[in-house]
């Protein structure tokens, strides 16, 4: 038995055979159902040779082994005297901590809404610039029409929020939007003296708000499931929509509306207290310095509800939006420092590209493409962003519109507040220059090695010049590429199983990213392993925790041993069915033998076709 000693150690550290109720495996990990979790010595297990990581959650106790886990599992169940179980775990609904579940929901809800918010914010900046320069008058019809876009986005924000979060909360998007539209209608929004069923309703302004509609949509999702359970199927089409609306509206007006407004007021009170006691400059400085870490952890959107609440209550945001802009500019400065320091033309192109992207307010390519690899730029941004944020905080810089990045700077002069604009410009200049200087002085960690490699090649002209060969991997599906760090699975997002990317699919076809051989097709059809002639091992993991679906919604076209070419169909997946079953449909593509190569470089985030290059492997 090849893994006997390894399995004996696992059994001992997990609390002995008697503590193991069941053990199954998926593509990369052993999943234990334990009688007593407290008996498991997690830290000792993490230190074992052959164990990548240990994850304990409400579903199971998971020991991440790698793609050879099936061999380990086969020997383990023999040693335990258990029957050869299927790869599926018992169907257990994952229960998150309420606070984490709420933060995840807010972050996921805000992501699609950011697009119209950015458009309205930038428009506000341009309108401020036009009025400052005299191109437009604030009373002109053109100004009024264009400004109506900005006003409409924020007035009807509850409708956008309802559309964004409805599916995540098992509610009908159309009914959620109808409820939100009702709340912002002239009959209800900020109207005094309303009552329902003889109960007096408090006067509430639902326009520009976001918390009441999130709570209302959550309730709508619960009510929808309840009605589907008890209303006969032949009546559901007619009865459910009207019952949902006539129940959700009063409950929202009586309960969720006031609760949402109180939460918003509470947040405003907390930060006002912080401002009056310590000064908001502390929070602004820290956020400007550490925002790249939050983005890397997938928490970059957590500040958006807070900023929206500030703008709604105070007319401006004194902390987060200015800090976000200063941090983005510092990221751009750090990349400029690396651009000036680099001698390699490919590096210069990379640093220059991500520097321009960051100065326009999109820092993910820099953070995931450069910061994670070189690490020292984090220090440069902490220096530049921190100093710039400190200056902005001490000068009480205010952000009047929901906008960030260089293009949003004119909005800081709204209400003819030119001093505010001046201080903000000084802040971003400080952040940019300080981060650029810091990055230049800190240097590029791998530069010396690359220089030595070039010198060696010059000294040995007979050496094969193309020893640094690149292998491109093409996308496995049409959709949106996201950094691996944003994937909601710890084993993959930490890079423990290799470098790679995530894809949010927009089509139901999964194709091969390379020419090679199919090494394994998992029995539940949710994972496929490929190997190229160069030895690159590619794992395509379709969805997160979809092993629990036991192959439902998956139709695999290939089998182990098949030869495939790039672009060849591997599987078709009903992703809507996967989402309806409550699972994340993100496709994860990782190079499981990453350590065998010089580097694995992901392409920048954004839209993908199935023919687009998504990873580059440096041999």
Catalytic residues: 26
Q: Kindly state the tokens that stand for 593.
A: 């033998």
CA–CA separation, 265 and 327 (whole Å): 27
CA–CA separation, 23 and 60 (whole Å): 9
The strands making up 606-608's β-sheet, listed across from edge to edge, are 563-564, 516-521, 527-531, 537-544, 584-591, 500-505, 479-483, 606-608
Q: Please give the C-alpha separations between residue 409 and each of 119, 127, 153, 307, 613, in angstroms, as whole numbers.
A: 14, 11, 20, 16, 35
Q: What is the 3-state secondary structure of 262-295?
A: HHHHHHHHHHHHHHHHCCCHHHHHHHHHHHHHHH
* Nearest Cα to Cα of residue 32 among 8, 65, 56, 1: 56
Provide the β-strand partners of residue 564.
516
Give CB contacts under 8 A, 24+ apart, made by 357-360.
357/604, 358/328, 358/329, 358/331, 358/332, 359/328, 359/329, 359/332, 359/405, 359/406, 360/405, 360/406, 360/407
Those residues whose C-beta lies under 8 Å from the C-beta of residue 344, and which sit 6 or more positions away, are 447, 450
CA–CA separation, 204 and 189 (whole Å): 6
Residue 343 φ/ψ, nearest 5 degrees: -110, -20
Residue that is written with structure tokens 């530049």 in the block: 384
Per the CB < 8 A criterion, the answer to whether 497 and 592 are in contact is yes
SS3 530: strand
């Amino acid at each position: 038995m090849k893994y006997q000693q390894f399995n004996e150690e696992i059994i001992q550290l997990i609390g002995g055979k008697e503590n193991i109720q069941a053990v199954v495996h998926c593509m990369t990990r052993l999943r234990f159902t334990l009688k007593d979790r407290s008996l498991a010595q997690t830290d000792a297990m993490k230190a074992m040779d052959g164990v990548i990581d240990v994850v304990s959650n409400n579903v199971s106790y998971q020991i991440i082994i790698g793609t050879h886990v099936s061999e380990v599992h086969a020997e383990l169940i023999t040693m335990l005297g258990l029957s050869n179980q299927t790869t599926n775990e018992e169907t257990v609904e994952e229960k998150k901590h309420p606070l984490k579940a709420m933060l995840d929901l807010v972050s996921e809800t805000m992501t699609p809404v950011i697009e119209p918010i950015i458009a309205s914010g930038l428009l506000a900046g341009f309108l401020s610039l036009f009025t400052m320069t005299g191109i437009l008058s604030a009373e002109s019809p053109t100004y009024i029409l264009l400004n109506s876009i900005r006003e409409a986005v924020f007035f009807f924000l509850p409708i956008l929020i309802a559309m964004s979060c409805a599916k995540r909360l098992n509610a009908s998007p159309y009914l959620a939007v109808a409820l939100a539209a009702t709340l912002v209608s002239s009959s209800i929004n900020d109207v005094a003296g309303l009552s329902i069923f003889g109960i007096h309703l408090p006067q509430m302004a639902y326009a520009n708000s976001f918390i009441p509609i999130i709570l209302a949509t959550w309730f709508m999702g619960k009510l929808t499931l309840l009605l589907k359970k008890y209303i006969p199927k032949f009546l559901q089409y007619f009865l459910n929509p009207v019952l949902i609306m006539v129940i959700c509206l009063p409950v929202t007006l009586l309960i969720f509306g006031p609760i949402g407004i109180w939460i918003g007021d509470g947040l405003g009170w907390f930060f006002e207290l912080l401002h009056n006691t310590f000064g908001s400059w502390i929070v602004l400085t820290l956020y400007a310095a550490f925002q790249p870490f939050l983005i890397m952890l997938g928490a970059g959107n957590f500040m958006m509800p807070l900023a929206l609440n500030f703008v709604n209550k105070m007319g401006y945001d004194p902390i987060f939006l200015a800090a976000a802009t200063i941090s983005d500019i510092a990221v751009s400065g750090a990349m400029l420092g690396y651009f000036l320091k680099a001698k390699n033309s490919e590096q210069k192109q990379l640093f220059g590209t991500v520097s321009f992207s960051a100065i326009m307010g999109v820092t993910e390519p820099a953070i995931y493409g450069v910061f994670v690899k070189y690490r020292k730029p984090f220090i440069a941004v902490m220096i530049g962003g921190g100093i710039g944020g400190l200056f902005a905080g001490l000068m009480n810089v205010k952000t009047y519109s929901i906008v960030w990045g260089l293009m949003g700077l004119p909005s800081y002069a709204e209400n003819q507040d030119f001093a505010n604009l001046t201080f903000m410009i000084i802040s971003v200049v400080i952040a940019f220059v300080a981060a650029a200087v810091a990055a230049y002085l800190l240097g590029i960690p791998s530069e010396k090695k690359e220089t030595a490699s070039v010198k060696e090649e010059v000294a040995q002209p007979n050496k094969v010049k193309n020893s640094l060969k690149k292998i491109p991997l093409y996308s496995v599906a049409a959709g949106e590429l996201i950094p691996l760090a944003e994937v909601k699975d710890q084993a993959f997002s930490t890079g423990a199983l290799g470098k790679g990317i995530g894809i949010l699919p927009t089509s139901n076809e999964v194709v091969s990213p390379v020419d090679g051989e199919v090494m394994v097709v998992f029995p539940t059809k949710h994972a496929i392993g490929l190997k190229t002639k160069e030895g690159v091992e590619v794992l395509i993991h379709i969805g997160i925790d979809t092993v629990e679906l036991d192959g439902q919604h998956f139709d695999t076209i290939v089998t182990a041993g098949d030869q495939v070419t790039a672009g060849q169909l591997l599987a078709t997946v009903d992703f809507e069915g996967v989402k309806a079953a409550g699972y994340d449909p993100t496709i994860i593509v990782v190079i499981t033998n990453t350590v065998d190569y010089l580097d694995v470089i992901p392409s920048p985030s954004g839209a993908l076709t199935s023919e687009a290059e998504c990873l580059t492997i440096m041999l």
